[in-house]
Amino acid sequence: MKKIYALVLAAALLLLGTQANAQFHIGVGYLNSTEITHYNNGDKPFSEMMHGFYLGGTFNIKVAGNFGIAPGFYIDALFQEELYREQPKYYQSRFGGFNFESGIYRELALNVPVNLTYDFEINDNVSIFVYGGVNLQFTPLARTTYRQGTAAPGGVVITPRGPRTIFVVNGETYKYDHLWGEGPDMRPFNVYAGGGVGVMLGDIRIMAGYDHSLLNVSRIDGERTGRSQFKIGVNFVFGND
């Protein structure tokens, strides 16, 4: 895994260092992420959807003709409001009452995409392009803030993703860290493969893309969790070919 990250990053830095004639893009857009967990015991897969945005930059480097390569760096922010009162059977403690009504999930991820690109030029100001490649992702923050909850100390909560340990007594607010806290259930590293299409109008690029994760990000035994992501956004172009 570390070798894959190192090779992709080294290739991207080498291109940036050897190509002076490149376009720099600043991009922002909407991000929709669907997470699906499969269970080895045959239970029905569980899926949930998150919404957010992305922001970052890309170097679009022409390699030969209309072919190019585009390394970049983006930040993703995802959010989800969870209404547990609609699924009370999943949220019961082994040690006393547990009645959290709602929670808000927040996630921040750092991305290094490296894509191959091809432009279909219509005229000097208009072109259609396609791209495809890989995206290396590191997630430093993934946290759920539960509200109006009570639980016994050391209580184990049965959720759709499996048992979760709670360390609060009669607290109205509880924060669960999915990555670095007690009993983490997510891995911070992921790799996506995907692609997309778009249109360039002068110095503005409108684009839409889809990525699918290649790794299992769940730390829970007997679970396989992956993601698919759809995004649509606008890039503002600086520099000339």
CA atoms lying within 13 Å on the CB side of residue 104: 7
Which residues on neighbouring strands pair with residue 196, listed in sequence order?
131, 209
Which H helix or E strand runs over 180?
A: none
The confidence score (pLDDT) of residue 92 equals 45
Q: Is there a contact between 98 and 155 (Cβ–Cβ < 8 Å)?
A: yes
Token pair 């909560």: residue? 157
In 3-state terms, what secondary structure has residue 5?
A: helix
Rounded Cα–Cα distance for residues 183 and 170 (Å): 20
Q: How far apart are CA 228 and CA 113, in angstroms?
A: 15
Domain boundaries, given as residue ranges, for the chain: 2-238
Question: What is the DSSP secondary structure assignment for residue 145, as one 8-state letter?
Answer: E
Handedness of CA 44, 52, 235, 19 (dihedral sign): negative
pTM for this entry:
0.76
Single-letter amino acid code for the residue at 175: K
- For domain 2-238, give the fold: Porin (2.40.160)
Amino acid at site 132:
G
Do residues 216 and 222 make contact, with C-beta atoms less than 8 angstroms apart? no
Closest residue by Cα to residue 100 from 176, 186, 174: 174
3-class secondary structure, 26: strand
The one-digit pLDDT tens for each residue of the chain (241 residues) are 555 545 555 555 555 444 546 789 999 999 999 999 999 988 899 888 999 999 999 998 888 888 999 999 999 999 987 655 433 343 444 444 455 556 788 999 999 999 999 999 999 889 999 999 999 999 999 988 776 555 444 555 555 455 555 544 444 666 778 888 777 889 999 999 999 999 999 999 999 999 999 999 999 899 999 999 999 999 999 865 5
> Are the beta carbons of 222 and 39 closer than 8 angstroms?
yes
